[in-house]
Chains A and B, each alone.
Chain A
Amino acid sequence: MKLFSIRGGIHPDYRKERTSEKAIVSFPLPATLFIPLQQHIGAPAEVVVKEGDQVKKGQMLAKGQGAVSAPQHAPTSGRIAAIAEITAPHPSGLPQLTVVLESDGKDEWVDDLPQPIADPLKASPDEIRARVAWAGIVGMGGAAFPTPVKLNLGAQLKIHTLLLNGAECEPYLTCDDRLMREHAAEIIDGARIMAHTLGAGRVVIAIEDNKPEAKKIMTEAASGHAGVEVIGVPVQYPMGSERHLTQAITGLETPARKLTADLGVVVQNVATARAVHHAVRHGRPLIGRVVTVSGGALPDPKNIDVLIGTKLSDLVAFCGGLTKPAKRFVNGGPMMGQPLPGLDVPVVKGMSGILALTAEEVNEHPASPCIRCGTCVTICPCGLVPVEMAAVIRKDHLDQAAHLGVMDCVSCGSCSYICPSHIPLVHYFNFAKGMLNAQDREKRRLDRVKNLAEARNARLEKAAAAKKAAAAAAAAAKAKAAAEAASQPPADNRPGA
Chain B
Amino acid sequence: MSVTIEKSGPFGHAPSSVSKTMITVLVALLPATLFNVWLFGWPALFMFLITVGACLGFEAICLAWQDRPVKATLFDGSAALTGWLLAMSLPPWTPWWIGVLGALLAIVLAKHIYGGLGQNVFNPAMVGRVGLLVSFPVQMTAFVPPKPLFSEGAPGFIDSLGMVFGGFKNMDAISAASALGHVKTELTKGVPVTESLPQVFDLTSMITGMHIGSFGETSAILILLGGLFLMVRGVISWHTPVGLMGTLFVCASIANFFAPERFPGGIFHLFAGATFLGAFFIATDYVTSPVSKMGQLAYGMGCGFLIWIIRSFAGYPEGVAFAVLLMNALTPVIDHHIRPRAFGRTSKGEPLPVRGDSK
Take A252-B355, A329-B3, A377-B291 as given contacts and tell me if A364 and B342 are in contact as well, using a CB distance cutoff of 8 Å.
no
Are A263 and B286 CB-contacts (below 8 A) given A417-B12, A421-B18?
Answer: no
Interface size class of B (residues with CB under 8 A): 35 or more
A7 to B345 CA separation, bound complex (whole angstroms): 13
What chain A residues lie within 8 Å of B335 (beta carbons)?
A: 385, 388
Supposing A337-B11, A362-B13, A424-B7 touch, asked if A371 and B18 sit within 8 A by C-beta, the answer is yes
A93, A262, A363, A384: the one contacting B15 at CB < 8 Å is: A363
Q: Is the CB of A334 within 8 A of B291?
A: no
B349 within 8 A of A: yes
Q: Is B156 an interface residue (CB 8 A)?
A: no
Pairwise interchain contact B14-A12, C-beta atoms closer than 8 A: yes
Tell me if A180 counts as interface (CB < 8 A to partner B).
Answer: no
In chain A, positions 334-352 with a C-beta closer than 8 Å to chain B are 334-344
Residue of B3, B292, B353 touching A328 (CB-CB under 8 A): B3
Binds B, one of A72-80, A203-211, A253-261: A253-261
* Residue A416 lies at the interface, judged by CB distance under 8 Å to chain B: yes
- Please tell me which one of the listed residues A244, A264, A330, A381 contacts residue B9 in the complex, with CB atoms under 8 A apart: A330
Whether A255 contacts B353 by the Cβ 8 Å rule is yes
Q: Which residues of A contact B286 (CB under 8 A)?
A: 371-374
Instruction: Let me know if A335 and B10 touch, CB within 8 A.
Output: yes
Whether B357 pairs with A158 at a CB distance below 8 angstroms is yes
Cα–Cα distance between A93 and B349 once the two chains are bound (Å): 38
**Any B CB within 8 A of the CB of A228:** no
B175 at the binding interface (Cβ < 8 Å) = no
Interface size on A, residues (CB 8 A): 80
Closest to B72 in A: A368
How far, in whole Å, are A338 and B339 apart by their CA atoms in the complex?
Answer: 31
Chain B residues within 8 Å of A257, by CB? 344, 351
Do A377 and B340 touch across chains, with their CB atoms under 8 A apart? yes
User: Contact between B5 and A422 (Cβ–Cβ < 8 Å)?
Assistant: no
CB atoms of B9 and A369 under 8 A apart: no
B262 sits at the interface (CB 8 A) = no
Residues of A within 8 A of B340 (CB): 7, 377, 380, 383-385
A360, B339: Cα distance in complex, Å: 35
Is residue B158 within 8 Å, beta carbon to beta carbon, of the partner chain? no
- Per-residue B-contact encoding for A408-421, CB less than 8 Å = 1, 0 else: 10010100111111
Does any Cβ of A come within 8 Å of B319's Cβ?
no
Question: In this complex, what residue of B is CB-closest to A241?
Answer: B343
Inter-chain CA distance A409–B2, complex, in Å, is 30
How many angstroms between the C-alpha atoms of A158 and B354 in the bound complex? 13
Between A and B, 19 residue pairs with Cβ closer than 8 Å are A160-B358, A243-B344, A252-B355, A253-B352, A255-B352, A256-B343, A257-B344, A263-B356, A264-B357, A343-B1, A363-B12, A368-B18, A371-B21, A374-B296, A377-B292, A405-B349, A408-B344, A421-B18, A430-B8
